[in-house]
Structure formats: C-alpha cells, structure tokens
C-alpha cells in the first residue's frame, strides 16, 4: 500500500512552489515532489555563472514573497534568485520532498484519484498538479554525434563560463535569449565567436524611459491569450533576446558584427569537421529588426492612447549584419572552432501521465490549467492561460486559480 495524500504537486520550481503556497493558505494537505536535491534547481544548475534575471526585479512575484528590495529596476544575480527560492520554501514551510522523481501518473481503478509512481515508492492522491514545465530535456541535434571527436559540445544549460571551454574559437548555435547572452560573454572575454542565427527577435532593453518589459506589461501585451496567436505552434516561439548583464542593455546582432562576431544562417547539418548552413542570415536579421520595430510601435501607440507625457526617442538603426558575407559551409578545423554550444532550447514530454491529455504538439489540453479529468491540473507553462503563465510575473495568479478550483472540488 502506497502513501496517501490529498494532492501531489509534481515539480518544485516556481510553478509548483506557487501552487503549494496557495494550497497551504487553504490548509489543504499536499506534498511537492521535486527530483532535484535543492530548491531553485533550474536557476542553480541550468544557468551559467554570470546569469541574471532577464526581467526587472519588480517582476519577481512569487506569491507572498514579491520583490521588496531597493533595486526594482535592477536584474537579480543568479545566486540571489537561488537564495530567494530557498528562503521561500523555508519561510512558508512548504512540504517539498527533494530527490524524488515521478515516473508514472495513472487514474486509480474505479476513479476517485490517481496513482503516482516515483523513485521513492507509490503514492495515491485525489488531485495531481503537473508543474514540470516545458524545459525538460536539452535539445542537441542527432548529427552532432557525427561531428569530429575533437570538438567539445555543451548545451547552453551546461555552459558555465568562458574559462571552462578549451582554447579556441566557439560556435554558438541559436540567437534567442541564451545564445545571444552567451555569445556576448564569450566575445567580451576575448574569444572568437561564430553565432548561428535563428528567427528570434530583438527587444530594446529600455525605450522612452522604461524597461521594455514594463511597457509590455502595462500595454497588455503580456496578457495576451493563446487565441490571439497566429497559430497554435506560435506559443513555442523564442522570446526576443535581451540581457540583464551589467545593469541591462540591448543585444543587437548588428553590434555583434561590429564587435567581430561572425554570423551565419540556420545550421542545416554537418559531419566530421564540416558544417552546412541554410543561407538565410539576412532573413533572420530582418526578422530581428522587425520585432524591435513592432515593439517600439506598440509602445508608441500605447503612450499616444493613454496621453502619457513621455519624451519621444529614436533607437539606433544598425545595419552592419546585412553587409556580412553569407556563409553556407564552415570547416571547424580551418576556423579554429574547438567548442560548440547548443542554445536551441529543450524538449518537453508529458507521457508520464497515462491519459490522453496532450494535443498533436504534445502540449496539455486544458483551460487555465484545468483538464477534463477531475483532479488533474497543469501549471507553469507559457501560454497556459496567457503569455505571462510561464513567467515569474504571471505564475502566481495561475497558481491561485488552480488552488481555488481544487479547494472548491468536493472530495
């Protein structure tokens, strides 16, 4: 006979802990099962040493522990983020069991709850919340195994700092948030950097007196719901690249070119010491430029609509990348590349839930986290309810909604 509890929350990241906080306010029996050995695992072990929050400190809004410091416009360092999660668990006495992985969730025979199989035995629960997020397994393309054994590979989640890489040039694959931040750190450290671009856009760090994230929040941009997207797969698109490093600044691929970075289009494949690229660098640069232009227009329109007294601003219009040669092939040995950093995201998989709960893309079928199966919930995914659902800014309201729903269920 396994252990019994009213509710099991699977995952002890920001979503799982926020749910636990709200369940605790209701006095509801529950346990959080977290496979890592400590709180703040994603921030502690899947981020590089110099990482900072990408959003201003005021957006750190774990429920009950919203940011109260004296630098609301700053960007919290990695160590401070980790400490905040540790303190959150301790302060609210959240019932987290660390070092427990969940392998299987299935309905109990006859209904009335779920059986949860873990590395620490079986549990029975009337309600289960899946809070494992989308960023589960690092993406590395299959052809990476066919490249020269002289090349050292890292996923962006395993990269720590330039000094840990072997001497030589570095190829960073992916120009979304992680790829651009890592590429900048590497070339500022003196490394020769090759950056494989993607369709990820660019956001200005600040515009017309505010951080762009604040304008996105004020204007309702972050509150958009999935029905506003052009298609369902758009919810998986990369966020525009920005950085909080050194107090925050804009990351611009054209500036990268000025600083000596070699840009390429998408990476198509490779074998041995040779890589092939698609030749779409200019299209990717155009996309990055257009995303910034669209964000700027959104802010301008919002300021005009609200009649705000905000001085106008014109952002620099760099075009250096368009003059760069289009590279369709690289020889790793000739270019001196000794390391590749794969900054192309993560796979997600909810197959541990033995019910038909996902769509054709593998994304949970739900309404603001509530599935059609009584007592089964999801939380902490981007676009679960709106764009903020996967952010520290938006996970709290989603957690409260789910906790309210659970508290109202007859058990």
Co-location of 285 and 398 in the same domain: no
Claim to verify: residue 132 and residue 44 sit in the same structural domain = yes
Looking at the fold, whether 354 and 325 belong to one and the same domain comes out as no
CB within 8 Å of 300: residues ≥ 6 apart: 208
Provide the pLDDT for residue 265.
98
The mean per-residue pLDDT over the stretch 199-216 comes to: 97
Asked whether the predicted pLDDT for residue 238 surpasses 90, the reply is no
pLDDT digits (tens, 9 = 90+) for 72-104: 999 999 999 999 999 999 999 999 999 999 999
User: To which residue do tokens 């960007």 refer?
Assistant: 75
Which pLDDT belongs to residue 110?
Answer: 82
**Phi and psi angles of residue 198, each rounded to the nearest 5 degrees, phi first:** -135, -165
Same domain, 180 and 55: no
Query: H or E stretch including 386?
Result: none
Q: Please report the pLDDT score of residue 316 as a whole number.
A: 94
Q: Are residues 207 and 177 in the same domain?
A: yes
8 Å CB contact between 124 and 2: yes
- 270 with 192, same domain: the answer is yes
Same domain, 355 and 328: no
State how far the Cα of 68 lies from the Cα of 111, in Å rounded to an integer.
Answer: 45
pLDDT in tens, 140-176: 999 999 999 999 999 999 999 999 999 999 999 999 9
Question: In the listed set 323, 342, 361, which residue is the last one of a domain according to the structure?
Answer: 342
d(CA 230, CA 288): 18
In this structure, are 185 and 301 located in the same domain? yes
For the stretch 222-233, pLDDT in tens is 999 999 999 988
242-243/102-107 β-pairing: unpaired
103 and 169 assigned to the same domain = no
Given a contact cutoff of 8 angstroms between Cβ atoms, the answer to whether 260 and 337 are in contact is no
Per-residue model confidence as pLDDT tens digits over 314-360: 999 999 999 999 999 999 999 999 999 999 999 999 999 999 999 99
CATH code: domain of residue 17: 3.50.50.60
Cβ contact 88:65 at 8 Å:
yes
What average pLDDT score do residues 370-399 get?
Answer: 96
Q: Number of folded domains in the chain?
A: 2
User: What pLDDT does residue 1 have?
Assistant: 53
| pLDDT of 2 | 79
Q: What pLDDT sits at residue 390?
A: 92
**Could you report how far apart the first and last alpha carbons of the chain are, in Å?**
20
Burial readout 156-180 (b: 16 or more C-beta within 10 A, e: otherwise): bbebeebeebeebbbbbbbbbbbbb
Q: Which of 287, 309, 342 is at the close of a domain?
A: 342
Looking at residue 112, what is its pLDDT?
86
Do 337 and 365 sit in the same domain of this protein?
Answer: no
Q: pTM here? A: 0.96
Question: Other CB atoms closer than 10 Å to residue 97's CB: what's the count?
Answer: 13
The answer on 353 and 263 residing in a single domain is no
Q: Edge-to-edge strands of the sheet including 337-342?
A: 152-155, 337-342, 169-173, 193-196, 262-264
Distances (CA, A) of 205 to 193, 221, 261, 350: 23, 16, 21, 34
Same domain flag for 115 and 155: no
Q: Which domain holds residue 292?
A: 140-342
Percent of the chain with pLDDT over 70: 100
Boundary residue ending a domain (312, 342, 372): 342
């Amino acid at each position: 006979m396994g252990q019994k509890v009213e509710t099991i929350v699977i995952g002890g990241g920001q979503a799982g802990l926020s749910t636990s906080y709200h369940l605790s306010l209701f006095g509801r029996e529950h346990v959080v099962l977290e496979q890592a050995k400590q709180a703040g695992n994603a921030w502690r072990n899947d981020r590089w040493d110099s990482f900072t929050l990408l959003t201003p400190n005021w957006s750190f809004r774990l429920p009950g522990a919203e940011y109260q410091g004296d630098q609301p416009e700053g960007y919290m360092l990695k160590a401070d983020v980790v400490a905040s999660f540790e303190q959150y668990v301790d302060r609210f006495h959240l019932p987290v069991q660390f070092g427990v992985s969940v392998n299987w969730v299935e309905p109990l025979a006859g209904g009335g709850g779920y059986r949860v199989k873990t590395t620490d035995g079986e549990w029975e629960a009337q309600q289960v919340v899946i809070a494992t997020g989308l960023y589960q397994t690092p993406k590395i393309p299959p052809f990476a195994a066919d490249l020269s054994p002289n090349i050292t590979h890292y996923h962006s989640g395993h990269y720590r700092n330039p000094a840990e890489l072997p001497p030589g040039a570095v190829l960073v694959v992916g120009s979304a948030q992680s790829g651009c931040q890592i590429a900048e750190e590497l070339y500022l450290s003196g490394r020769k950097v090759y950056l494989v671009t993607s369709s990820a856009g660019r956001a200005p760090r600040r515009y017309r007196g505010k951080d762009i994230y604040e304008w996105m929040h004020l204007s309702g941009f972050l509150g958009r719901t999935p029905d506003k997207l052009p298609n369902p797969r758009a919810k998986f698109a990369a966020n525009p690249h920005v950085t909080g490093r050194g107090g925050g600044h804009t990351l611009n691929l054209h500036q990268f070119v000025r600083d000596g970075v070699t840009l390429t289009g998408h990476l198509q494949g490779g074998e041995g010491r040779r890589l092939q690229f698609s030749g779409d660098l200019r299209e990717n640069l155009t996309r990055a430029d257009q995303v910034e232009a669209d964000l700027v227009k959104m802010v301008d329109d919002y300021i005009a609509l609200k009649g705000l007294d905000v001085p106008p601003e014109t952002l620099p219009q760099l075009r250096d990348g368009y003059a760069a040669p289009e590279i369709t092939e690289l020889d790793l040995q000739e270019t001196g590349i000794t390391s590749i950093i794969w900054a192309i995201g993560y796979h997600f998989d909810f197959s541990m839930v033995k019910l038909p709960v996902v769509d054709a893309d593998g994304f949970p079928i739900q309404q603001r986290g509530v599935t059609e199966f009584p007592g089964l919930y999801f939380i902490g995914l981007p676009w679960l309810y709106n764009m903020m659902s996967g952010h520290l800014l938006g996970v709290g309201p989603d957690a409260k909604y789910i906790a309210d729903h659970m508290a109202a269920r007859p058990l």
